[in-house]
């Protein structure tokens, strides 16, 4: 019996151990599996599953363990999961409250595929609430999240399964790992909140939204990223006063605008960047500041390297570079900039830029300001990124101001400017209808070259220079724009418009003309030298020499070496020297011209006086004189111009006469203008008139009465009809062959009349 009882006791003990535990009195129901789903139009939106559920009697709640909430979306194209170890479920309100750690995996899926979905975003947080009816999950706790290529954190998350929106509520920070797509540098983004709209494939980072990469920073009120069908970034927009800042060894860079945009290819490389609306920027470096502004700028990027390939700026484009007191600026409506590979694949350098419309370039260096205008500019840059060459097309205009000097203006069809390594222009070459203007000075040519270092402008191709007083043509002209020094060569011809005592060139009537091989002098002082076969002609007056020098302000000119001067004299009743007629009072058939040879001639225009020296010979129809020096006095003629066509032609001609004293000139009547009134010869004077020869130390010829007065030394006259005649002074008249002898005592005068045989 004892054995039987013992055996039964053992069996009962085993049975009690194998039986299920008793359900507590507060528990209404327990189950090993629990699930419910929300379905709309035969499509499951989400499913809540738990491996164990406990329903309590009095609390209208259930305790769920090992909980999975899977969201499929309205299109069934998602496989998002919320997982936690334990949640409290309230059937009446539909709330699922998970107080422990929660993991949210956001992923896309292909229903036809066999591979599990890749996690696009994994979120870790605590105390998450999910509502069965609204399909929203939220928490106010800190949030950690991971995604492909980075991680981040924030505070509070809201997830709407119906709207497919995930929102991080505040204090958001994203850290993206360095990769070739990020230029080898990590990226950090911060914002007040982050919203991911799955249906719209939009990610928004709200203000203050800041993205940092190395020394670069982008800040805006909102940064939006548009995703493609595979949820790769395709388009990014920064709105609300976006600002880019960058700091590196080269300085600080800042750019602002109404909106910045970036487009990316599926591989993640940036394709284009667009800055739109009131775009402004500044780059500060030691001793240099660059500023720019425009309405819009579009940057096209090189694939795979995220370096700029081209930039097109439009709408009131303004670029300004300053270094100390020097500056350079560009203004245009449209600008295209092209870039070339730099020293490394992730660097670019400026290769060229082109204005796609009229532009203005202004440079300031000390007291030198130069402004260039053209309908189109093209600039070329060196491999070091320095401005190397500038081309201007279609109506180039250059305005230059040097100190307080009158401004200069140059116009041409085309321009080529070369720049030095310091960024300042070195030379300017202009071609096609070049025109220069400064105060009353003007110049024109087919080509012009300006050199900054020497401040010279060189013109060729039929250059013409003019001012209020003169006009000059030559094969080539060079002018120093600061000093006013001028050099012209190759068939120089100048015309001086002043007459009378108004200028140094007042030897005759009308404009004065000078030709020579070369011209040197100053455009400021007006002092110039004509060298090499120099020839001056004005009315009937002609002056030839190896060199003619003019002092404009002093109204003086000087001719040197092999001087030949031709002066007309006033008309008087005279006897022709070539064929004398006894006691004739008839006037010669043509004007009387004096041809004078001397090594040096100096002429004062205001006094009408010419001084010749170094051994002078003067010849005319009235006679000839030889002396060491000769003073010729010119006065305006009171006689009227002859009405003959020949006189009119001679007075207005601008071409040089064939030769001083040529027969054609002698046949013309006298013209109004400066004419010889008196001549005074000094030193070893010899006067010849027909076969009559007179010698003295001084001889004076007066054109008004046609007489020679010999005085000084031992005045003597010898002719074929009589012996030598001497006296204190001897006077003979050309017209009637009368000789007046003034005795030594001055008490009597003898008159001799030559009787022709």
Per-residue pLDDT tens for 625-667? 999 999 999 888 654 433 333 333 333 333 333 333 333 333 3
Q: Give residue 560's pLDDT.
A: 95
Q: Give residue 581's pLDDT.
A: 40
Q: Give residue 663's pLDDT.
A: 31
Q: Give residue 231's pLDDT.
A: 67
Residue 706's nearest CA partner among 676, 682, 729, 683 is 676
Q: Are 451 and 477 in contact (CB under 8 A)?
A: no
Residue 292's nearest CA partner among 335, 324, 263 is 335
> Over pLDDT 90: what percentage of the chain?
37
Q: Are 64 and 88 in contact (CB under 8 A)?
A: yes
Q: Give residue 41's pLDDT.
A: 80
Pseudo-torsion of CA 519, 522, 524, 526, nearest 10°?
-60
Q: Are 137 and 127 in contact (CB under 8 A)?
A: no
Confidence of residue 59 (pLDDT cuts 50, 70, 90): low
Q: Are 464 and 458 in contact (CB under 8 A)?
A: no
Q: Are 53 and 68 in contact (CB under 8 A)?
A: no
Q: Give residue 163's pLDDT.
A: 78
Most confident of the ranges 38-42, 277-281, 342-346: 277-281
Exposure of 586 by Cβ count < 10 A (0-12 exposed, 13-18 middle, 19+ buried)? Answer: exposed
Inter-residue long-range contacts of 686-689, CB under 8 Å, 24+ positions, other chains counted: 686/625, 686/626, 686/627, 687/623, 687/624, 687/625, 688/623, 688/624, 688/625, 689/577, 689/622, 689/623, 689/624, 689/732, 689/734
Residue 367's nearest CA partner among 407, 410, 409 is 407
Most confident of the ranges 460-469, 538-547, 686-695: 538-547
Give, as one character, the DSSP assignment of residue 668. S
Q: What is the pLDDT of residues 490-536, one digit of tens each?
A: 999 999 886 444 577 888 888 889 999 999 998 888 899 999 999 99
State phi, psi for 11 to the nearest 5 degrees.
-65, -40
Inter-residue long-range contacts of 717-720, CB under 8 Å, 24+ positions, other chains counted: 717/692, 717/693, 718/692, 718/693, 718/694, 719/690, 719/691, 719/692, 719/693, 719/754, 720/691
Query: Distance between the two ends of the chain, CA-based, in angstroms?
Result: 211
- Mean pLDDT, range 364-375, rounded to an integer: 89
Question: Among the residues of 454-566, which ranges form H helices?
Answer: none
Q: Give residue 55's pLDDT.
A: 83
Indicate if the pLDDT at residue 178 is higher than 90. Answer: no
Q: Give residue 328's pLDDT.
A: 86
| Fold category of 498-579+586-656+670-753 in CATH | lipopolysaccharide transport protein A fold (2.60.450)
Query: Can you name the residues that pair with 534 across neighbouring β-strands?
Result: 545
Indicate if the pLDDT at residue 579 is higher than 60. Answer: no
Indicate if the pLDDT at residue 312 is higher than 90. Answer: yes
Which of 31-45, 178-192, 433-447 shows the lowest per-residue confidence on average (mean pLDDT)? 178-192
Confidence of residue 24 (pLDDT cuts 50, 70, 90): low
Q: Give the number of other Cβ atoms within 10 Å of residue 753's Cβ.
A: 11
Q: Are 677 and 668 in contact (CB under 8 A)?
A: no
Which of 116-120, 203-207, 422-426 shows the lowest per-residue confidence on average (mean pLDDT)? 116-120
Q: Give residue 610's pLDDT.
A: 94
Mean of pLDDT over the chain = 81
Q: Which CATH number fits domain 25-176: 2.40.180.10, 1.10.1040.10, 3.40.630.40, 2.60.450.10?
A: 2.60.450.10
Q: Are 684 and 669 in contact (CB under 8 A)?
A: no
Q: Are 701 and 707 in contact (CB under 8 A)?
A: yes
Segments of the chain assigned to CATH 2.60.450.10: 25-176, 498-579+586-656+670-753
DSSP per residue, 377-446: EEEEE-TTS-EEEEEEEEEEEEEEEETTSPPEEEEEEEEEEEE-TTSSEEEEEEEEEEEEEETTEEEEEE
Q: Are 690 and 664 in contact (CB under 8 A)?
A: no
Indicate if the pLDDT at residue 277 is higher than 90. Answer: yes
Task: In whole angstroms, give the CA distance from residue 720 to residue 649.
Answer: 42
Residue 293's nearest CA partner among 316, 327, 259, 261 is 316
Higher per-residue pLDDT: 385 or 21: 385
Q: Give residue 310's pLDDT.
A: 93
Indicate if the pLDDT at residue 26 is higher than 60. Answer: no
- Mean pLDDT, range 229-237, rounded to an integer: 79
| Fold category of 213-349 in CATH | lipopolysaccharide transport protein A fold (2.60.450)
Q: Give residue 14's pLDDT.
A: 60
Give, as one character, the DSSP assignment of residue 642. P
Distance (Å) of CA 645 to CA 178, 648, 650, 651: 97, 5, 9, 10
Confidence of residue 355 (pLDDT cuts 50, 70, 90): very high
Question: How do strand 476-480 and strand 528-538 relate by DSSP bridges?
Answer: unpaired
């Amino acid at each position: 019996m004892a054995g039987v009882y013992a055996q039964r006791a053992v069996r009962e003990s085993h049975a009690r151990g194998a039986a299920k535990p008793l359900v507590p009195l507060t528990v209404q129901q327990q189950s090993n599996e629990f699930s419910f789903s929300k379905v709309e139009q035969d499509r499951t939106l989400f499913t809540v599953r738990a491996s164990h559920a406990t329903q309590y009697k009095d609390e209208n709640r259930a305790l769920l363990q090992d909980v999975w909430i899977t969201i499929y979306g309205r299109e069934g194209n998602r496989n998002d999961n919320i997982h936690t170890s334990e949640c409290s479920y309230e059937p009446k309100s539909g709330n699922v409250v998970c107080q422990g750690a929660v993991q949210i995996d956001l992923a896309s899926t292909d229903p036809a595929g066999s591979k599990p979905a890749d996690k696009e975003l994994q979120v870790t947080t605590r105390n998450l609430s999910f509502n069965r009816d609204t399909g929203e999950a939220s928490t106010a706790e800190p949030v950690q999240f991971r995604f492909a290529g980075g991680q981040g954190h924030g505070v509070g998350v809201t997830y709407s399964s119906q709207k497919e929106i995930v929102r991080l509520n505040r204090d958001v920070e994203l850290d993206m790992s360095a990769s070739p797509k990020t230029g080898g540098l990590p990226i950090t983004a911060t914002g007040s909140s982050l919203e991911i709209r799955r249906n719209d494939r939009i990610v928004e980072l709200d203000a203050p939204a800041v993205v940092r990469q190395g020394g670069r920073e982008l800040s805006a009120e909102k940064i939006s990223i548009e995703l493609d069908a595979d949820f790769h970034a395709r388009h990014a927009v920064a709105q609300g006063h976006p600002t880019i800042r960058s700091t590196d060894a080269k300085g600080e860079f800042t750019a602002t605008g109404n909106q910045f945009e970036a487009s990316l290819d599926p591989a993640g490389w940036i394709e284009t960047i667009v800055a739109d609306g009131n775009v402004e920027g500044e780059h500060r470096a030691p001793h240099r500041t660059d500023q720019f502004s425009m309405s819009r700028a579009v940057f096209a990027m090189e694939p795979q390297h995220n370096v700029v390939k081209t930039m097109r700026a439009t709408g009131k484009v303004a670029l300004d570079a300053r270094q100390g007191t020097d500056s350079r600026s560009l203004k245009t409506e449209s600008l295209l900039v092209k870039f070339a590979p730099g020293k490394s694949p992730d660097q670019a350098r400026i290769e060229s830029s082109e204005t796609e419309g009229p532009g203005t370039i202004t440079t300031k260096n000390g007291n030198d300001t130069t402004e260039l205008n053209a309908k189109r500019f093209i600039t070329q840059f060196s491999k070091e990124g320095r401005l190397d060459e500038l081309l201007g097309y279609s109506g180039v205009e250059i305005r230059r101001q040097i100190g307080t000097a009158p401004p200069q203006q140059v116009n041409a069809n085309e321009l080529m400017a070369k720049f030095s390594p310091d960024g300042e222009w070195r030379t300017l070459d202009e071609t096609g209808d070049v025109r220069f203007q400064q105060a009353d000075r003007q110049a024109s040519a087919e080509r012009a070259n300006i050199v900054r270092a020497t401040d010279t402008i060189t013109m060729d191709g039929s250059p013409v220079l003019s001012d209020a007083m003169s006009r000059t043509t030559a094969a080539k002209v060079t002018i120093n724009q600061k000093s006013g020094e001028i050099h012209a060569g190759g068939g120089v011809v100048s015309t001086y418009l002043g007459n009378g005592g108004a200028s140094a060139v007042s030897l005759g009537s009308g404009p004065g003309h000078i030709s020579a091989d070369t011209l040197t002098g100053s455009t400021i002082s007006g002092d110039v030298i004509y060298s090499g076969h120099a020839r001056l002609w004005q009315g009937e007056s002609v002056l030839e020499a190896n060199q003619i020098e003019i002092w404009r302000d002093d109204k003086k000119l000087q001719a040197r070496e092999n001087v030949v001067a031709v002066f007309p004299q006033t008309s008087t009743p005279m006897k022709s020297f070539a064929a004398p007629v006894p006691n004739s009072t008839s006037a010669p058939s043509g004007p009387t011209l004096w041809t004078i040879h001397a090594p040096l001639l100096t002429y004062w225009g205001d006094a009408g006086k010419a001084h010749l020296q170094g051994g002078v010979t003067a010849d005319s129809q009235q006679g000839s004189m030889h002396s060491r020096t000769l003073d010729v006095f010119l006065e305006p003629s009171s006689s009227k111009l002859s009405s003959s066509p020949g006189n009119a032609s001679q007075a207005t001609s601008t071409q040089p006469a064939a030769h001083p004293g040529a027969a054609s000139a002698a046949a013309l009547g006298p013209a109004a203008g400066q004419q010889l009134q008196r001549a005074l010869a000094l030193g070893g004077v010899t006067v010849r008139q027909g076969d009559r020869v007179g010698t003295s130390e001084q001889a004076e010829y007066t054109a008004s009465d046609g007489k020679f007065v010999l005085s000084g030394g031992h005045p003597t006259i010898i002719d074929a009809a009589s012996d030598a005649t001497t006296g204190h002074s001897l006077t003979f008249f050309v017209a009637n062959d009368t000789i007046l002898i003034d005795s030594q005592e001055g008490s009597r005068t003898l008159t001799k009349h030559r009787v022709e045989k």
